[in-house]
């Protein structure tokens, strides 16, 4: 309940303190602001069917959660998918960001039922999409979806984030876009963000989702703004943060 109150407080303070886009002096950032909301994207019919099927599946799944609240969870598929999946509008926005950054490789930390990674893989067939999901039963959903839709550019791994990042460091893989949508926890979020420079391309973007999830998630965002020197732009949007690496842009913190 405390988190619900925090989200209401967050929305209010966000709308009262955000600045007008006119404050975006860099053409790169202004174009990013204008061009990345994709409204024209048509979701492939097979993906729509998958979503419809998930919303009707009322069998139980059981697993040990590894996100913000570590506990044993027994829940219905339709209920859990509704609770954890990224909203459609944001998934379309991520496609727009991927296009803007000419992403050749995208990493999603926190795969869930695979809705975002499958949508990225089907809309960007020339991009390699990597998604990491630590809960085996959820990762199995992603594997089935990938096979059903024949998404040859989608690579899913049933790993912990740390292990996955170490693996990509060893393979010298670099990503233009990384979506952090996992732990929702102060320490682990900061730890994950600090591990990312080793696997980011020279010009790249990180989306840190759900910075309004709880007071501690927002503290993690504030800590990144204050003390992280790696990213050139730290941009707060309503409920998520954008961390941009672009050596051609001066260092700045935005709330627009
Ligand atoms: C909010 S959900 C992801 C939703 C997904 N991005 C989507 O768009 O549908 C977060 C997922 O991250 C996974 N997760 C959290 N912490 C993790 C960790 N340290 N390692 C691996 N997976 C983790 C959880 O099991 C959960 O399924």
Task: Return the CATH number at 37.
Answer: 3.40.50.150
Is 67 part of any domain?
no
Q: Answer yes or no: is 75 within a domain.
A: no
Probe ligand 1: pick from 110, 130, 240, max atoms within 8 Å of CB? 110
Q: Which residues contact 68 (CB under 8 A, 6 or more apart)?
A: 183, 184, 185, 213, 214
Residue ranges with strand state E in 40-144: 60-64, 72-76, 105-109, 128-132
Q: What is the pLDDT of residue 152?
A: 98
Is there a domain that residue 146 lies in? yes
Residue 221 domain-assigned?
A: yes
**240: exposed, middle or buried (C-beta count within 10 Å: 0-12, 13-18, 19+)?**
buried
Ligand 1 contacts CB of residue 138 (under 6 A): yes
- Give a yes or no: residue 212 inside a domain: yes
* Distance (Å, whole) CA 240 – CA 218: 10
Residue 198 lies in domain: 2-44+85-255
Cβ atoms of 142 and 84 closer than 8 Å: no
Which pLDDT belongs to residue 235?
A: 98
207 lines ligand 1 (CB under 6 A): no
**pLDDT for position 68:** 63
User: Using a 6 Å cutoff on CB, does residue 181 contact ligand 1?
Assistant: yes
Report if residue 131 sits inside a domain.
yes
Query: How many DSSP H helices and E strands does the chain contain?
Result: 10, 10
Q: Is 56 part of a structural domain of the chain? A: no
Structure tokens at 170: 């060893």
Does the pTM exceed 0.85?
yes
Decide whether any atom of ligand 1 lies within 6 Å of the 160 Cβ.
yes
Is 49 within a domain? no
Q: What's the domain count of the chain?
A: 1
Q: Mean pLDDT per 10-residue run, the chain (256 residues)?
A: 91 95 92 88 89 94 84 94 92 95 98 96 96 98 96 98 98 98 92 98 97 96 97 97 96 96
């Amino acid at each position: 309940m405390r988190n619900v109150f925090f989200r209401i407080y967050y929305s209010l303070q966000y709308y009262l303190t955000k600045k007008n886009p006119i404050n975006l002096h860099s053409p790169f950032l202004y174009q990013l602001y204008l061009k990345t909301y994709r409204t024209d994207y048509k979701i492939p019919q097979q993906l729509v069917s998958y979503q419809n099927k998930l919303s009707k599946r009322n069998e139980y799944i059981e697993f040990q959660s590894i996100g913000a609240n570590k506990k044993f969870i027994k829940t219905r598929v339709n209920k859990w998918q509704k609770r954890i999946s990224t909203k459609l509008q944001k998934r379309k926005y991520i496609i727009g960001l991927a296009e803007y950054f000419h992403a050749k490789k995208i990493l999603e930390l926190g795969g869930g039922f695979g809705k975002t990674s499958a949508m990225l893989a089907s809309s960007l067939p020339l991009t390699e999409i990597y998604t990491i999901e630590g809960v085996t039963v959820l990762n199995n959903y992603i594997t089935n979806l990938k096979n059903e839709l024949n998404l040859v550019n989608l690579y899913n791994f049933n790993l912990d984030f740390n292990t996955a990042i170490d693996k990509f460091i060893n393979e010298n893989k670099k990503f233009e876009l990384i979506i952090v949508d996992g732990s929702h926890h102060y320490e682990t979020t900061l730890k994950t963000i600090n591990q990312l420079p080793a696997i980011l391309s020279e010009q790249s973007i990180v989306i840190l989702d759900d910075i309004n999830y709880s007071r501690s998630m927002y503290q993690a965002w504030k800590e990144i703004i204050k003390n992280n020197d790696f990213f050139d732009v730290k941009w707060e949007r309503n409920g998520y943060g954008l961390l941009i690496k672009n050596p051609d842009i001066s260092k700045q913190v935005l709330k627009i």
